[in-house]
Amino acid sequence: MDRLKKAAVLTRFVSALRERGSWGGETHIQKAAYFLQELLGVPLGFRFVLYWYGPFSFDLRDELTGLRGDELLTLNPQYPYGSSYKSTERASYVQSLFEKTLDEYRERIEFVADQLGAQGVKSLERLATGYYVTKGLPKAAVEDRALRLTKIKPHVSHEDAVAAIQMVDKMITKSKPLLH
């Protein structure tokens, strides 16, 4: 996906998350974008690695800074929890140039925003790490994947890990009709 198309998709995605109540900080965007790319197959071209809060992409971090430089996103200090990203008027203009691309990915963007927009950072960490584990162990039982999740993130309780894996499984099932 070329740069401007990617800018149109990402800025639309940030808006969709915020419309669902997301705080819109970098961690929220990182985890949600992980699902958008890896589960929903939107070809953003980011490489994700396991980091403090689960899957994280340094490329996406660079891209968010680039989008600030382009004035497509603004970074707004927001009491009491640091900062959040908002898309700008200029972003709406760029989106208008890529209607076809946005049409193609609209349902997938809305799906991820619906599922994850209202989730907080800790929940997103469990879900994204849960999906990371599921990708590595696609045939493993919920219990086994939950154990793997708690091994990677020892501060996550077993109950929370199981709940996260179950939600990931539901998301996988629900997302299938969108992958055409």
Partner 1 sequence: MAKKIHEIRDPIHVFVRLSHDERNVLDSRPFQRLRHIHQLALTYLVYPGATHRRFEHSLGVMELAGRVYDVVTSNATDDVRNEFPDVADDRKREYWRCVLRMAALCHDIGHLPFSHAAEKELLPEGWTHETLTAVLIRSDEMLPIWHDMRIDSEDVVKLALGRKELPDADFTPWETILAEIIVGDAFGVDRMDYLLRDSHHAGVAYGKFDQYRLIDTLRILPRAPSDADDEGEVGFALGVEEGGLQSAEALMLARYFMYSQVYFHPIRRIYDLHLKDFLIEWLGDDGYPTDTERHLMITDTEVTHGMREAEQHAEFPGHLHAYRINRREHFKQIYSRNPSDAEINLEAGEAIFDALCTEFGAEHFRHDRYRQKGGAPDFPVRMRDDRIASSLLVSDILAKVPVVDIDCVFADQSIVTKAERWLTQHRDEAIKPKKEEGASG
- Report the alpha-carbon distance of residue 151 to residue 99 in Å, rounded: 43
86 binds partner 1 (CB under 8 A): no
Tokens encoding 133: 């584990």
Give yes or no for a contact between 41 and 99, defined as CB atoms under 8 angstroms apart. Answer: no
Identified binder of partner 1 from the candidate list 32, 33, 36, 64, rule CB under 8 A: 64
Find the binder of partner 1 among 11, 37, 101, 150 (CB under 8 A): 101
- Cβ proximity to partner 1: between 15 and 175 the closer is 15
- Examine residue 25 and tell whether it contacts partner 1 (CB under 8 A): yes
- Cα atoms in the Cβ-side hemisphere of radius 13 Å centred on 109: 21
Should residue 148 be labelled a site residue for partner 1 when binding is judged by CB under 8 A? no
Cβ atoms of 5 and 98 closer than 8 Å: yes
Name beta bridge partners: 73: 87
List the one residue from 45, 65, 157, 170 that touches partner 1 (CB under 8 A).
Answer: 65
Cβ nearer to partner 1, comparing 99 with 143: 99
Report if residue 41 touches partner 1, rule: CB under 8 A: no
Among 40, 121, 140, 142, the residue binding partner 1 under the rule CB under 8 A is 121
How many Å apart are CA 146 and CA 112, to the nearest integer?
22
